[in-house]
Amino acid sequence: MRAGGRQGGCAPLPEDQAEIPAHRANGPAASRIIVATAPITANRPQNRNGANMTSDNLKTPTIALGTWAWGDSGETGNGYFGSPLTRAGLEEIADKAHAAGFTLWDTAIVYGMGRSETVLGEVLKRYARSDYQLSTKFNPRIAGPGDDPVGDMLEQSLTNLGTDYIDLYWIHNPADVARWTPHLIPLLKSGKVRHVGVSNHNLSEIKLADQILGEAGFRVEAVQNHYSLLYRSSEHAGILDHCRNQGISFFAYMVLEQGALTGKYSLENPLPQGSSRAKTYNGMLPQLKALTDKLTAIGQSQDAAAPDVATAWAIAKGTTPIIGVTKPRYIDGLVRASSITLTSDDIAELEALADAANVNTRGFWEQEM
């Protein structure tokens, strides 16, 4: 039994709330992961109608960079993460990430209600647009009343990010798949959106979205769901298998459970007081200790740290982890994670300890899969 679950369903949220949305499997990762060596957008094939086909062309990196916490930056911040972030610090993160070859940035219009997108766009101005990839999201929960709420929200994201196209555009939650998915088609045809994915969708919703796009010659190319040692619902529901079988990239978010799986937080050193993540995780930290100790022990044998091993676990499961990067040194961890080898015994032991922790980290915006 899993206990102590986070609030499910679609509770009303503060306006500034970051995650408004109700919003492969095992084996060596190297054989399945294509490291992006060129912009995601290169050489897109076309379908019979001359529309930009998105199949067989999404280049998925080993690790993507998450910027939800960047919504906390600026004078006001929204306090979800409670991490004080400075512009200079974020620029240093970007420089280290790019030097190490990590160039796919994930954000969403609702992260800090535009602040994450805006600061990310400003920080990335130092690079040529072709040197990085942007992943952001349409959120049905804040759709406007106009004729084309998806196109309107995309325009706002383009403005926030200071760009004229998005490499990977997501529907952030499955509020109404049949209603919202068709709106992606003209955006794909126009080239403002190069590839599309769905987030927080269950298996039947993924299939429905794929069918709708398929009728126009496009497809769901990526799925983005909560997936960590503590939260494997997408695996249990067959979504990882489906993605592997269909050639869909699975992006795993909250692989580190917002810091709770890094081993650095404890009763003595809790997550930042007053932050939303502290409310979720501080109470369960004692139950996570055996797991984080094991992550640390495996890391020590490979000159790595606990979060690197948690990230390596997600890679070994055939997913692309999106890791929230709030400090420059975390990029070093991503480099280490990319080269960690986990045995099947390591994986089994980590998963057993995770199950024994008996916690439920489902986000309030997430549905049961």
Ligand X SMILES: NC(=O)c1ccc[n+]([C@@H]2O[C@H](COP(=O)([O-])OP(=O)(O)OC[C@H]3O[C@@H](n4cnc5c(N)ncnc54)[C@H](OP(=O)(O)O)[C@@H]3O)[C@@H](O)[C@H]2O)c1
Binding stretches for ligand X (CB under 6 A) = 19, 21, 23, 66-69, 81, 83, 106, 172, 199-200, 224, 253-259, 262, 264, 307, 322-324, 326-327, 330, 333
Rounded distance between C-alpha atoms, residue 23 and residue 141, angstroms: 7
Q: Strands 320-324 and 249-253: what pairing?
A: parallel
Q: How far is CA 72 from CA 29, 80, 261, in A?
A: 33, 7, 21
- Comparing CB distances to ligand X, the nearer of 51 and 120 is 120
Q: How far is the CB of 26 from ligand X (least distance, A)?
A: 21
**Residue 193, C-beta contacts closer than 8 angstroms, at least 6 positions apart:** 154, 165, 166, 169, 184, 187
Q: Which is nearer to ligand X, 187 or 331 (CB)?
A: 331
Q: Give the shortest CB-275-to-ligand X separation in angstroms.
A: 9
- Exposure string of 125-164, with b = 16+ CB inside 10 Å and e = fewer, is eeeebeebbbbbbbbbbbbeeeeebbbebbeebbebbebe
Output 51 or 310, the one with its CB closest to ligand X.
310
Query: Residue 191 corresponds to which tokens in the numbers above?
Result: 């080239």
Q: Pick between residue 153 and residue 322 the one whose CB is nearest to ligand X.
A: 322
Residues 6 or more apart from 332 whose CB is under 8 A from it? Answer: 96
Strand partners, 52: 46
| Burial classification of residue 75, based on how many CB atoms lie within 10 Å of its CB (0-12 exposed, 13-18 middle, 19 or more buried) | exposed
Q: What's the closest the beta carbon of residue 95 comes to ligand X, in angstroms? A: 17
196 vs 254 by CB, closer to ligand X: 254
Contact 220, 210 (CB under 8 A): yes
Q: Which is nearer to ligand X, 51 or 168 (CB)?
A: 168
Give the residue at shortest CB distance from ligand X.
324
Min dist CB 171 to ligand X, Å, is: 10
167 or 257: whose CB is closer to ligand X? 257
Q: Smallest gap, in angstroms, from Cβ of residue 222 to ligand X?
A: 11
Give whichever of 109 and 353 is closer to ligand X, judged by the CB atom.
Answer: 109
Residue among 226, 205, 209, 230 at smallest CA distance from 218:
209
CB of 107 to ligand X, least distance (A): 6
58 in Cβ contact with 64 (< 8 Å)? no
Residue 48 CB, shortest distance to ligand X, in Å, is: 32
Q: How far is the CB of 203 from ligand X (least distance, A)?
A: 17
User: In the Cβ-directed half-sphere of 260, how many Cα atoms lie within 13 Å?
Assistant: 26
Which residue in the block uniquely carries the two structure tokens 């911040």?
77
Q: How far apart are CA 56 and CA 192, in angstroms?
A: 19
